[in-house]
Amino acid sequence: MISGSYRKAVLPGNPVFDKIAALCVLIEYITGQLAWPNELTLEYWRSNDNPGADTKKRWETEGSFVIDVGEKKYHSRGIGSAVTGAIEDLGINLDNREDLKWLMDVADRNNKTGYLKGYSAKHNMPYLIRELYKPGSFVNGNTAVEAGAHVIFTALRYRQMKKVGSYPRSTDDLAKTSLPYVPASDEPFTLGSYKKQMFCLGESLPEIEARLKFWLDAKSRADKADARAAKTADEKATIVAFGDGKNLATIRTDDDRLARALFTGNRPPDIVIGQPRNGCVQILSNRKHQGNPRFMKSVEKLTELLQKVDKASWFFDSRIGAVMNGTRSLKESVPTILTIEAIIDMIASTVEF
C-alpha cells in the first residue's frame, strides 16, 4: 500500500536501468516493500526539452515524484545517477542501508562506463531493457519497467537477506531443477545472478521460469534483429568522405540498430549520422575512437557548437562519444533546424582524430 505524499512517478520515456532503479528506491520509500505496487501511476516525459511551468504545476498537484527529467537530470545536478538523485530528494539516510548504497554505487559507475551491459554475453537486464523498447519488441512499456524493477528488487532482497545469514533454498539445489538455462554469473543484474537469487529467495519454480523466459525471449528477438540489421544497413547508408581519410555514413531510419550496425560492416565509418522520421538527429562515433581524449573533447565541442547555432536541444553522451538532438525514448523532442549538409560541415571542421 502506498503511503505518504507521492502517488505518481514521472520518468523519461523508455526508462533504462538507472531510472528504473531510482523508481525502485521511490517505491520502497512510499510502500515499505521491495515489490511492485498496484496503485502507483507512471507518466513518461518523451522530450529532451525541459517541462514548462504548467506541466510542473500539474505534476505537483498530482503528487508526482520526478525522476531524471528537466532540472532533475543527474548530469545537470552534478551527481552520478538518477538513483543518487532519488536518494537525495527523498532524504534517505544510508547509514544502515548497505543495499541502497551498493545500488547507488553501481548506478553511478555504470553511468560513467556502461559496464553492466557487457556482462554475461549480453544476458543482463541493463542491456536487454533497452532492447525491449526497440521496434519489433511488442512489449508494453509498463510491462518492461515492471520486469526491470523485479530484477532490481530481487537483487536488493537478496542482499538484505544475506545479512541475516540464510535463504529459504540452497544454491546447491538449483542444478537439480529444470529451469531454463542462462549463463552462470554472479555479476550484478545478469540473468545468471537473477535466476540464483530468485531460487534462493524461495520464488516458485513456475514464476522463476516465466521471469527468465521473458528476458530470454527479449535476447532472442534482439539477436535476430541485430542479424537483420547487419545484412541491410550498408544498403541503406550514404558514405561521405571527409578530413584526412575519414568516412562518415548517413542513414535514414527509425531503428538505431541499423545505424549502429554500420560500425560492424566490412568498412566501418568513423561517424554515423542517424536520421529518424521525426527529424531528431543522432551523431554516433566508432568505438575505436572513444578512448581517444582528443576525439572525445572535440565531440563535446561539436555539441557546444550545435547548441549555439540551433534552436533545438543537443546533448553529449560522454560514455559513447555521441551527440543527440533526440532519441527513440525522447521522440517528442524539438527536431533540429539544421540540414544534414550543415551538420557534416560542422563535424568536418570540429572533430579531431
Q: What's the confidence (pLDDT) of residue 136? A: 74
Write the CA distances from 333 to 46, 64, 167, integer angstroms. 7, 22, 47
> What CA–CA distance (Å, rounded) separates 214 from 211?
5
Q: What's the confidence (pLDDT) of residue 254? A: 84
Mean predicted confidence (pLDDT) in 316-324? 90
Which three three-digit cell numbers place residue 75?
548530469
**pLDDT tens across 194-251, in order?**
999 999 999 999 999 999 999 999 999 999 988 888 888 888 899 999 878 899 999 9
**pLDDT tens across 131-173, in order?**
999 877 778 889 999 999 999 999 999 999 988 778 999 999 9
pTM here is 0.83
Provide the β-strand partners of residue 10: 43, 66
> How large a percentage of the chain has pLDDT more than 70?
97
Q: What's the confidence (pLDDT) of residue 149? A: 98
Residue 2 pLDDT class (50, 70, 90 cuts): low
Cell numbers 507521492 correspond to: 6
Q: What is the mean pLDDT of the chain?
A: 92
CA 1 to chain centroid: 28
Residue 278 pLDDT class (50, 70, 90 cuts): confident
What's at 245, amino acid-wise?
G
Q: What's the confidence (pLDDT) of residue 277? A: 86
Work out the burial of residue 231: count CB atoms within 10 Å of its CB; fewer than 13 is exposed, 13-18 middle, 19 or more buried. Answer: exposed
What's at 300, amino acid-wise?
E
Q: What's the confidence (pLDDT) of residue 3? A: 54
Dihedral of CA atoms 115, 118, 123, 129 in degrees, nearest 10, equals: 60
